[in-house]
Amino acid sequence: MLCVQACVAVALLKPLAAPAQVSYVARFEMEKPSYLLGGPIFSKFTISNTGSRTFQFAYRSPSRVLNQALESEPRFRVTDAEGRALPDPAPKPCGGAAGTVVYGSVTLPPGQTHSERWLLNQWAWFAAPGRYTVRAERRLPLLALDPSTQQPSKQPVAYALALDELSFELGPATETQLRSAFQPYLDELRDPKKTNPAEATLVVTTLPKPFFLSDLVAAAGPFPSASPERWDRKLAVEGLARLGTPAAWKAILGIAQGRGASSTGSEKDDSLRAYAILLLAEKADPAFLPPLLGMVSKAPSEVRDALLRALGFFQDPRANQTLFEQLHSESSTDRMNAILGLKNLGTKETIPALMAMLNDSQPQVRQVANFALEGLTGEKFTLSDKAAPGETARLAAKWHAWWRQNAASFVPSRPSPCREW
């Protein structure tokens, strides 16, 4: 095992006092030498304060952050016995699901140790038994505490560096074995006394199994008014999509339709329904389309917005007709979302209609129409935020001239798989 350690001396501004030091030992290790295929695989990060001065660092919920530019994030690269890198299960090229991470801080006095567990299944797709190697690294900024005020320094006084190569064995598993492996996490998820089951939620939604489908459905459902919200319900919907069975997709459709939502409705219910619609659109199963079309006329605004944007992904004449009709809606929001839906359709037949929307009475609609044309064609024609009628007319003339020159041979760019909404 290779482990990198570092120490930084920080002198206290006191005469005749011995200098206090920020010093640490940081490393990764596997929790066990062997794991079950399909079950959770954890690597543990520990940092020990080996100096004489207290330091502080950021701590957060254990889900992976896909922004590689963020400091303090661990990085894992997993290879098989032949040295081949395992696929990354994170959505690409989009970078992952929208969401937030709750940060806190850890204060570590001299002589104490802090540890964190990281679910490697977030970084690597394990498809077969065998021996695997993990390269784990982290650069964790440390802040020193002022002895007199107990306030942290504004800038890091050291970076806790950890670089380790680890290995473990992955063996085949029966359903009985997997049920046993997941039971502690399911128990924690089901226990209302566990106010923050972040790790259990992460495991269950990252590695969903048919035998706890009902738990995922319940986790995506409404919370009793007397109970605090203990997790982001969108994580449970993502877990259902990862499970991917007909029963799981049926449950997602039910969430999109509002089955199980609170009787009065809420912004959070509508946001969850919109997210379920997004996942149904990415799946683009034609069986989902009739119930989604049936929702357009009566859905709440946030759900309706998502529906219109989603329809283009289905590549279906029924969906396309609805989108073209909504270009003439009295609502400018409907017109904008219909434009985005036609952009998601990704065909050249939508371009004349999108160019016509450059003449819309509302500047926001004209901006969205220009954005959609740029996305479909790869051409860039700038339109200022508060464009005067003359500027918009000149822009429309540019697009019409470009279309006359390129319509016969034009092939639209492939629709992005990213969630641009």
Q: How far is CA 329 from the centre of its chain?
A: 33
184-188, 219-223, 233-237, 245-249: the lowest-pLDDT one = 219-223
What are the residues facing 134 on neighbouring strands?
A: 78, 166
Q: Are 323 and 296 in contact (CB under 8 A)?
A: no
Hey, what long-range contacts does 75-78 have (CB within 8 A, 24 or more apart)? 75/136, 75/137, 75/138, 76/43, 76/118, 76/120, 76/123, 76/124, 76/134, 76/135, 76/136, 77/123, 77/134, 77/135, 78/120, 78/123, 78/124, 78/126, 78/132, 78/133, 78/134, 78/135
CA distances from 8 to 142, 144, 288 (A): 10, 11, 59
H/E element holding 132?
strand 130-144
Return the structure tokens found at 25: 């030992």
Q: Are 417 and 90 in contact (CB under 8 A)?
A: no
Rounded to 5 degrees, φ, ψ at 78 are -110, 135
Query: Which CATH fold would you assign to the domain 7-91+100-171?
Result: Immunoglobulin-like (2.60.40)
The CA distance from 204 to 181, in Å, is 11
Query: Looking at 228-348, which runs of residues are DSSP E strands?
Result: none
Quick one: pLDDT at residue 149? 82
Average pLDDT value for the chain:
87
What are the residues facing 27 on neighbouring strands?
A: 46
Rounded to 5 degrees, φ, ψ at 344 are -65, -25
Quick one: pLDDT at residue 224? 61
The CA distance from 156 to 142, in Å, is 5
User: Which of the residue ranges 125-134, 153-162, 269-278 has the most confident prediction, judged by mean pLDDT?
Assistant: 125-134
219: pLDDT strictly greater than 50: yes
Residue that has been written with the tokens 């696929």 in this structure: 87
Q: Are 180 and 146 in contact (CB under 8 A)?
A: no
Q: Convert the pLDDT of each residue in 28-70 to its tens digit.
A: 999 999 999 999 999 999 999 999 999 999 888 788 887 767 7
Quick one: pLDDT at residue 227? 60
Quick one: pLDDT at residue 329? 96
The CA distance from 337 to 118, in Å, is 39
What is the CATH architecture of 316-421? Answer: Alpha Horseshoe (1.25)
Rounded to 5 degrees, φ, ψ at 166 are -125, 160
> Coil, strand or helix: which one is 118?
strand
Q: How many helices (H) and strands (E) does the chain have?
A: 13, 10
Rounded to 5 degrees, φ, ψ at 141 are -65, 135
The CA distance from 369 to 358, in Å, is 6
The CA distance from 33 to 46, in Å, is 17
Q: Convert the pLDDT of each residue in 79-137 to its tens digit.
A: 999 999 999 987 654 444 444 566 789 999 999 999 999 999 999 999 999 999 999 99
Compute the C-alpha angle 163/165/166, nearest 5°: 130
Q: Is the pTM of this model over 0.95?
A: no
